[in-house]
Structure 1
């Protein structure tokens, strides 16, 4: 352990002292106050990346700009989701959920009530919607109500591509519609001093579809058609781009060089953790990031956003792609310690003790034999 590492450990792990268990800027200020200007902020950050207790609890940035879903015409893509209405089921004929679908271009909505969210029941409800509209694609989250053999069979029969989103924001268009629809329902209930909405549900949906929509240049979803689709597409997508071009036109040459330098925050083969909301895992101390460490194997751009594909430490592909803000770099040096959850077996090989261990935060697939001399009690 070199002197800088000793100094940083002393500041960070002395719980009664200033900057204990805090971030790089606070540590830098305390060191500066002690007359130590030699350890730079970059070195402090690098050191913190190697401290599991710090990186696991680092706050996750949940709100950040994401790539837009661009569609070219009505009926190209539907977003689907379930609205949870279980609290009102006794007054509404046992209806617990609403299957909500929205056309991403026209914002036209369909709603079908459900008594449960089993795959078979959701498939029946979706079939009702698909009798009215035949999209090229459907997007949903990865819930079992959508990811099952019944939905797969239905969409395959209809020749519809099913896109399952793994992102925390998920199918954001339909989730926004869910909020609007619930707001309409609860206002209706408040007006009528009642808890029964089911008789008025389709009228409320009809009202939504007849209401001018700001993102459609104040045209109602029901009025979107092939005649006005081209003008609406230009309004939805091109007006934003024009504003961006005017805003950045002056410094194009300077920015080109800067963009090349800052295109990707992380390098290929860099080790990273994944934000908790993107990948469910067992948490011991309310960790915000995965115990498991992954490796970046691919980087690419979508609409100017840096995206990353990952593999685990056994080179197995991780499903989905990740934004920069959903990853955190990890600096695992060669002498870094990896925590053991439990010792499963003990054996002797060539007169040396070995342990079969389960690593903390990793699945059984990573269980491995290690030399007894490498196991340390901390």
Structure 2
């Protein structure tokens, strides 16, 4: 088959967006934090110009930290993150977030380097599911308070929202309140979060080391529907992980490894 035709057929072949993904596994308290922004621009005038809420959650204990932001500029987000560290005396080994400019910038890098924190991103272009779930919970709580109080001044209620979430609500995934998680009960929480069935390896490996692949593209809202579903650039499988389901490490043809891991359904083996 003609090389250009093969390339075109591969790049426009169907891509499956929804499929079972591995669970995020944290080694313990403050091993892995996740973060996202909750957009509150609509209510900025009633809240002294604060338009966002920075949410940060310890993925193991589900303990959350919230800071109001006027902008999502890198300097302000980095300062808010450091404020959480200084106020609590806690810091993670890893921070999971998306690749937005609010996180990927020189100010964030400076703060993370200062405290020895490594940032990693979800390279399949999705946000942290745990941080997004927290955003949905916060959004629901705030809307209820709008109704109860008859106004939209969420900034006044933020301390109470944090306290209720951490100290009063029993989190279904851990069977206790986030504030109750401590070193003494870490093993109990670990059994709640990660039953052994989640660690069973997925034997249905779709790719082998050395295979050449394309990566699925997530189209933007305004991108033409006929834009390709897969990258024009070709990559190579450089590692296979026995997660459930299996995940893969890939590298550029020049040899540089791409950070993050990919699912089989995000990769397309190329005939070229």
TM-score above 0.5, yes or no: yes
Whether 1:275 aligns to 2:191 is no
Q: Deviations over 1:59-115 (max 9, x none)?
A: 422222222222232122211111111121122111111110101111011100000
Larger Rg computed on CA atoms: 1
Q: Deviations over 1:239-297 (max 9, x none)?
A: x528x98xxxxxxxxxx9x94xx42x2344444332112x98x9555425235131324
Whether 1:176 aligns to 2:133 is yes
Q: 1:182 to 1:286 in 2, by over 3 A?
A: farther
1:116, 1:145 → 2: CA distance?
9
Partner of 1:206: 163
Which residue among 229, 233, 247 is the counterpart of 1:293?
233
Q: Deviations over 1:313-335 (max 9, x none)?
A: 55554443321111123334xxx
Whether 1:95 aligns to 2:57 is no
1:290, 1:319 → 2: CA distance?
18
2:259, 2:184 → 1: CA distance?
40
2:140, 2:28 → 1: CA distance?
28
Q: 1:297 to 1:137 in 2, by over 3 A?
A: closer
TM-score normalised by L of structure 1: 0.63
Q: Deviations over 1:301-358 (max 9, x none)?
A: 14243333334455554443321111123334xxxxxxxxxxxxxxxxxxxxxxxxxx
Q: 1:89 to 1:107 in 2, by over 3 A?
A: same
1:175, 1:62 → 2: CA distance?
18
2:21, 2:228 → 1: CA distance?
20
Whether 1:136 aligns to 2:103 is no
- Higher RCO, 1 vs 2 (CA within 8 Å, ≥6 residues apart): 2
Q: 1:288 to 1:190 in 2, by over 3 A?
A: farther
TM-score normalised by L of structure 2: 0.85
Residue correspondence of structure 1 range 194-343 to structure 2 within 5 A: 194-209=151-166, 210-217=168-175, 219-238=176-195, 241=197, 259=203, 262-263=204-205, 265-277=206-218, 285-312=225-252, 317-332=257-272
Q: Is the 8 A contact 1:59 1:288 kept in 2?
A: no
Q: Is the 8 A contact 1:268 1:299 kept in 2?
A: yes
1:296, 1:166 → 2: CA distance?
16
SS of the aligned residue for 1:190 comes to: helix
Partner of 2:6: 50
Point out 4+ residue stretches in structure 1 off by more than 6 angstroms: none
Which residue among 82, 86, 101 is the counterpart of 1:127?
82
1:303, 1:314 → 2: CA distance?
27
Shift of 1:175: 1.2
Aligned residues: 267
